[in-house]
A and B are shown apart, each in its own frame.
Chain A
Amino acid sequence: MDSLQIFLGILSPAVLLVIFFGVLIGIIVGAIPGLNGAIGISLLLPITFTMEPQIGLLLLGGIYMGGMYGGSITAILLNVPGDVVAAPAAMEGYPLTRQGRSKEALYYSIFSSMFGGIIGVLILIFFPPPLARFALQFGPAEMFFIALSGLVVIGALGGNIYKSLFAVFFGLFISTIGVDAITASQRFTLGNINLRSGISVVPVVLGLFCLAEMFLNIGKKSSEVVTYKEQDIKRMTVIKDIMRHKMLVIKGSLIGTFVGLLPGVGTTLAVFLSYGEAKRVSKKPEDFENGNVEGIIAAESANNATVGSTMVPLLALGVPGSPTTAIIAGALIIHGIILGPSLFVQRPDVAYTFIFGMLLTVVAMTLIGAFGIKYFAYILKIKMEYIVPTVLVFTLFGAYSLRNNVFDVLIAIILGVLGAVFKKTGVPLAPIIIGVVLGGLIETNLVRSMTIAGARQISLLQYMLTNPLAIGLLALVCVIFYVVIKMRVKTQ
């Protein structure tokens, strides 16, 4: 099969249709709190078994791409992030909505997602083997420092320092619940079987962000929450402004790409690293959390950039680094397609149709996003007494559908109540999420480092600091720490 045939194959109506519907489904599941791209993909996985492999893959790829964007719609309009990775979009976008600038926020979100998505997919097209080899360099020590850098970034997020510290320790505490994978001892499981596998981040986010917001909205009228006097803004104005912030877009996309390459790290870290960096370089850091579009640009370009890069180790090495890519790998395996370098030789039609088709998922996402915005904004006209029950139902349903487990619903409700209390008392929510995400990563990689150092009969420090890459990452952690302290001192 030559390249022209592959190219024409991508532009066939069936492929275009599948891409369009995949992205649309992705945006919808992304926007619904509790559902996300990964759940959308696992729901539609069985359908792909009957499709040609490349078409099935593009359906899943489209959901993945759309899902990364969709969460920001509800985040911006309702302060209810549809997905974890949209939390910064809620932090910056919702204040804009309250000022009657929701369309502007939505345009920033979709166009930043577009740039991030394209950069991520281009990297997938051009650099898989070298980047996959680079990702392999990251052993336990390197992963430990990466996770640590995410923890240090929390300092840049703002808020009262003691409340932030409380929040991050609370998040880290949640991450310790469950059976410790290394020694198999039970921690804070209270003898409950459901707590043994720990508390995953999704019900925590649903509780803290979505349920808490709705609990606080009960009894309010929409007009008390947002002023619906929508200011109009031209798409080109936003695109031009994003172009002015091209360093933010590039940095966000590269952070997203980099974090996406690493197995088991997850997009949440990328989003907050990028967001923290945007705040650091901002001329108006005091505007953050009051509706600064720079935060939206950084976070939204980062999360869509991870879509391309998480597939790099999958396609180049056959190593699925995230739950979503593991499901995509499953979709290929059932078609008898073995992942890894031989994929490009044995099934070039599948491999190339897929990676070039991913560019079209970005196009579809941009079209749906940019032209759908005036319809999305109608959500704001809906009365609060309809929004609250709707979001509550979807959120509880989403918590359940994560593992088809009622226990996760309970966790979400408990954290919803706590979240409402935190919001009222000014405890920031983002550090809790970062703590939950990074706690396990930091611990398992530290213990792995200790185990391997023990086997090699060297000290932990010796093991962690032999590789130049690890030393470089430690230096990075120190630099971020220094910058955060300086920022804090300046604002005091």
Chain B
Amino acid sequence: MKKKLILLLAVTLMFSLVAIGCNDNGGDGDVYPNGTIEIIVPYSAGGGGDTVARILADALSDELDAQINVINREGAGGELGIAEIAASEADGYTLGVFGYPDNFVLEHTRDTDFTFDDLEYLGAFDDMPMGIFAGPGSDFETIEDIVAYGQENPGSIAIGESGALGLLHVLAFSDHLGIETTPVNYEGGGELMNAILGGHVDLASTSSMSHDPIKDGGGHPIGFAAAERMDMFPDVPTFKELGYDLEMGVSRVLVAPAGLPEEIRDVLTEALDNIGNDPELKERFENAALPYRYLDYNDVNEVLERSNNTLAPVIERNSERFQ
């Protein structure tokens, strides 16, 4: 009998553990925040977007004096998680962190359940440009080498890429250089790194975060699609300096579902301003090799709008690639 009781207890305990996992959030009090806030990250744990979300959750939780949980909801290149953020209730208790322009690219290349305007963009925290890298022993030292070879041999430069933005960057890069290249898709950053360091592709299209491991492995950067030279990598030229007006990068944004009540939005943007302008947050980002750039509510909406206008034509021109 006693044994049965213990077992019964164990089973009950287990069920309650499961129930804790599904606990409801949201408070009933008047003052926001009054309950647990969830931040949905549409990627798996451990990546750049996840790191940003966790640093933010930590800082924001101190600032708002509220419990904040990060939830990884990966799948379909971020589509599942972003759709879930957009579809959740706009009560300030469900927020999201992801890398813009993932949502914009997904929306314009697939039949997604969300649009750009289904989200409210509260702030942006980093600015990580895409870049083009050559592997060890590559004949491509400079961008001129690539242009010269590409004009002579259309389509024969194989460029490895991963993620929606990786492909878009290859296409935009080739457009600007006026050459034809062949994008080769890889599932993740690790596989792409293996391909470029092993010489299986000629070039790689990936973010500035890959700079150090590629350099360590004997490769070198050709250039970054950044507005200006990065503080972290002062030796790497921008494409602009090289004569190609190409700017493309990832910026991690904190979002809420559209329709957030104004008073809640104000609480959040004020808290973001407080932590965003704090040198401590900058330091934490830079420790994690994330180029910090805080954009407040007004700036982020303006910058994203501008960026959408430059991305849209590139996607449009290459629409057959995304079918």
Assuming the A-B contacts A136-B197, A326-B188, A328-B46, are A197 and B18 also in contact, with contact meaning beta carbons closer than 8 angstroms in the complex?
no
Question: Which residues on the A side are within 8 Å of B51 (C-beta)?
Answer: 330, 333-334
- Measured between alpha carbons, how far is A196 from B51 in the docked complex, in Å? 25
A393 on the interface (CB 8 Å rule)? yes
Min Cβ gap B248→A in Å is: 20
Q: Which of A308-337 contact B (CB under 8 A)?
A: 313, 317-323, 325-331, 333-336
B198 on the interface (CB 8 Å rule)? yes
Question: Which residues on the B side are within 8 Å of A444 (C-beta)?
Answer: 185, 187
Quick check: B54 and A334 within 8 Å, CB to CB? yes
Assuming the A-B contacts A184-B323, A193-B113, A386-B11, are A327 and B194 also in contact, with contact meaning beta carbons closer than 8 angstroms in the complex?
no
Min Cβ gap B44→A in Å is: 6
Assuming the A-B contacts A49-B54, A334-B288, A339-B213, are A452 and B201 also in contact, with contact meaning beta carbons closer than 8 angstroms in the complex?
yes
| Contact pick for A42, options B72, B181, B184, CB 8 Å | B72
Minimum CB distance partner of A457 in chain B: B156
Quick check: B190 and A326 within 8 Å, CB to CB? yes
Quick check: B216 and A317 within 8 Å, CB to CB? yes
Question: Which residues on the B side are within 8 Å of A335 (C-beta)?
Answer: 287-288
A489 on the interface (CB 8 Å rule)? no
Assuming the A-B contacts A136-B194, A193-B76, are A386 and B182 also in contact, with contact meaning beta carbons closer than 8 angstroms in the complex?
no
A472 on the interface (CB 8 Å rule)? no
B311 on the interface (CB 8 Å rule)? no
Min Cβ gap B26→A in Å is: 18
- Give the total of B residues in contact with A, Cβ under 8 Å: 63
Assuming the A-B contacts A319-B213, A338-B289, A455-B158, are A404 and B71 also in contact, with contact meaning beta carbons closer than 8 angstroms in the complex?
yes
A425 on the interface (CB 8 Å rule)? no
Chain A contact residues: helix, strand, loop or mixed? helix
Quick check: A319 and B190 within 8 Å, CB to CB? yes
- Measured between alpha carbons, how far is A452 from B110 in the docked complex, in Å? 26
Q: Indicate the size class of the contact surface on chain A.
A: 35 or more
B21 on the interface (CB 8 Å rule)? yes
B83 on the interface (CB 8 Å rule)? yes
Minimum CB distance partner of A387 in chain B: B7
Question: Which residues on the B side are within 8 Å of A317 (C-beta)?
Answer: 193, 197, 213, 216-217
Q: Which of B30-86 contact A (CB under 8 A)?
A: 44-47, 50-51, 54-55, 58, 70-77, 79-80, 83
Quick check: B194 and A135 within 8 Å, CB to CB? yes
Min Cβ gap A354→B in Å is: 16
A490 on the interface (CB 8 Å rule)? no
Quick check: B287 and A334 within 8 Å, CB to CB? yes
Min Cβ gap A225→B in Å is: 18
Question: Which residues on the A side are within 8 Å of B194 (C-beta)?
Answer: 135-136, 138, 263, 313, 319, 321
| Contact pick for A181, options B50, B185, B200, CB 8 Å | B185
Quick check: A197 and B75 within 8 Å, CB to CB? yes
Residue interface mask A224-254, B partner, CB < 8 A = 1: 0000000000000000000000000000000
Since A393-B15, A448-B185 are in contact, a sample of 17 more A-B pairs with Cβ atoms closer than 8 Å, ordered by chain A residue number, is A42-B44, A42-B72, A46-B54, A138-B198, A139-B198, A184-B109, A184-B322, A196-B76, A196-B79, A326-B44, A333-B288, A334-B51, A341-B216, A389-B11, A403-B72, A404-B71, A455-B157
